[in-house]
């Protein structure tokens, strides 16, 4: 399956899904003009990839500075998909944020706390150490 790489724009994040290495990342800002058009393709690609992926260790990094509520809707959908696949794959989610960005950290935690199978971790960007918030 072909990797998905989309360059960042002012209003949309950079997407880099390396399906062979099972490493996925979203980075930048998200407030697209047409949410369905942008996130639709991201979710669609993710769906196809997860449908044929079993017993793998999947690493996904979210490095978002800002996202609007329509994007939040797409993100929660992605989190739900990841949690579902974590029943038969090992899923590790890293939610990156700047050390003083409580807003983004909090939003990430809210998504993360609903997870039952996937592993969620907050990661502070400015330091090499990892700030760990493991879900129960």
Q: State the residues that interact with another protein by CB under 8 A.
A: 33-36, 68-70, 72-73, 76-77, 80, 103, 110, 114
* Least distance in angstroms from the C-beta of 77 to another protein: 8
* Least distance in angstroms from the C-beta of 60 to another protein: 19
Closest CB to another protein among 37 and 131? Answer: 37
Closest CB to another protein among 104 and 123? Answer: 104
Crossing angle between the packed helical segments 69-85 and 102-112, to the nearest 10 degrees: 40
* Least distance in angstroms from the C-beta of 34 to another protein: 8
* Least distance in angstroms from the C-beta of 65 to another protein: 12
Closest CB to another protein among 59 and 124? Answer: 124
């Amino acid at each position: 399956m072909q990797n998905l790489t989309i360059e960042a724009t002012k209003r949309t994040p950079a997407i880099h899904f390396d399906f062979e290495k099972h490493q996925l990342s979203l980075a930048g800002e998200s407030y697209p003009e047409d949410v369905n058009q942008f996130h639709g393709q991201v979710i669609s690609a993710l769906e196809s990839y997860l449908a044929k992926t079993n017993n793998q260790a999947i690493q996904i990094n979210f490095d978002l500075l800002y996202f609007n509520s329509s994007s939040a809707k797409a993100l929660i959908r992605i989190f739900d998909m990841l949690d579902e696949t974590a029943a038969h794959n090992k899923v590790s989610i890293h939610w990156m944020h700047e050390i003083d960005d409580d807003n983004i950290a909090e939003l990430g935690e809210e998504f993360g706390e609903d997870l039952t199978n996937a592993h969620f971790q907050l990661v502070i960007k400015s330091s090499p150490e990892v700030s760990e918030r493991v879900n129960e």
